[in-house]
Amino acid sequence: MSRWFAWLGGVRLVLVQWVVLLAAGLVSILPRRDDWIGSWKLALDGSAGATVFIGPVAAGLACLVYSRLRSSGVGEIIAQGRRDWWSWSQPAVGLWALASTALLCVAVGATTASSLAGVPAYPRLLWILIPALAVLGSQVAIGAAIGWASGRPWAAPLTAVMLFLLYLWTVVGPLPEFFDSGSATSSLAGFDVVPGPWLALGVAAVALTVVVLAAAHRRLFLASWPRRAVVGAALCGWLVSWFTVGDSSDRYAPVADPAFTCAGAQPEVCVLAETTRPLADLARRVDRGARALRDVGAPLPDRFTEQWGLEPSSDGVVILDDYSSSEVPQQLVIDTLVRPARCAPDYEQGPPEEVWAARRLLGRWLEVETGRSVPAAQDHWHDWLTGPPAPRETWVRTTYAQLAACAYDQVRMPGAAR
């Protein structure tokens, strides 16, 4: 066994610790599988954020190792060697290596699963794992410092809990988000990485690691002027990071012109190229529903495009919130077909209530027309939906044309006075 892992136990014990760290990472990411399976970027970001559990566990293990190192007296013998600070740090480096490989395995597993689900991969973004690994280093350093200062093995579980609470405090409290290395909740489709905030997080983590280790064993890390200079620079860097780390939401920014992937015809259906898993089923279902509209002469748009930005467009609107499944619910198809254009009122003051009511009735008509539902006797629109087809077709054709032209002020419900 390498001296890097000598204080972590034998081969079997080291393997057990690695499995525990891997399990902590899986606990972090697997409950969110339905979110990231359809988004490679979110799978990567979620893997980077696995430090939320891997880090506290690694800190607890570091506390246990360094409490044993302190109580054994070997730490003082190490401090008398030629490369004292490095020898003293090697157990922490070994634990950091175990935690890092666990996190990388989580990242490989999640992104591979996303790719196998048919989602495009973006390997150029893998570098965001580097700041996450630096965050792991700072968490291990904190655990080592507590273990060395206390010399008490029972402090290990308390350290793990404290690190997790510290993470929460940086997310919802006044501290900068030093330990939040990945917490996106949307698909990140149409967004790109902003390097500055990620690099600031990595620099802050490295600086914090140096400062914490120096505070834990001042005699080692402040023994000479070069070492003091390094620690001083790290302390300054960490203080500056209070103003540069910022919020995790700053790490991604929308791109001006994202790529889309399309399927189907008459109308075509387009979604963001990064989250194409539901596209085939959506295009098939939209085509089926569009036939009913086409049969009554409703002016269908050439294509329905996933909502992006706030600019008006003659394209119909797809609002796709779930990227995880290869099948889409029928309600999403209905919601798509009843929005044949992207109109300014939808994103400003909001459309009139009459428009919402007309869209709902159009949706009911589509469900009945395609045989997906039968009007109930108590349905307010039962007589209209089951009565003579001519008035229905006229209203559908007229209302759809008004919605497509964004003429919301002209929309009326059946039977309403003009």
* Cβ(99)–Cβ(169) below 8 Å: no
Q: DSSP per residue over 314-345, as a string?
A: SSEEE-----S-SS--HHHHHHHHT--SB-GG
- What's the predicted TM-score (pTM) here? 0.84
What CA–CA distances, in Å, run from 280 to 97, 262, 285, 328?
42, 9, 9, 10
Judge residue 313's burial from the number of C-beta atoms within 10 Å of its C-beta, 0-12 exposed, 13-18 middle, 19 or more buried: middle
Tokens 């490095």, residue?
A: 86
pLDDT tens digits for 105-136?
Answer: 999 999 999 999 888 899 999 999 999 999 99
Can you tell me the distance from the alpha carbon of 136 to that of 101, in angstroms, rounded to the nearest whole number? 11
pLDDT tens string for the chain (418 positions)? 455 566 677 788 888 999 999 999 999 999 888 888 888 999 999 999 999 999 999 999 999 988 888 776 665 656 565 667 777 788 888 899 999 999 999 999 999 999 998 888 999 999 999 999 999 999 999 999 999 888 888 889 999 999 999 888 888 777 778 888 887 777 788 888 888 888 989 999 999 998 888 888 777 776 677 878 888 888 888 888 888 777 777 888 888 888 888 998 889 999 888 888 888 899 998 998 898 899 889 899 989 988 877 677 778 888 887 677 778 888 888 999 999 988 888 877 778 888 898 999 998 888 888 877 776 666 677 777 787 888 888 888 999 999 999 888 888 888 654 4
* Cβ(284)–Cβ(239) below 8 Å: no
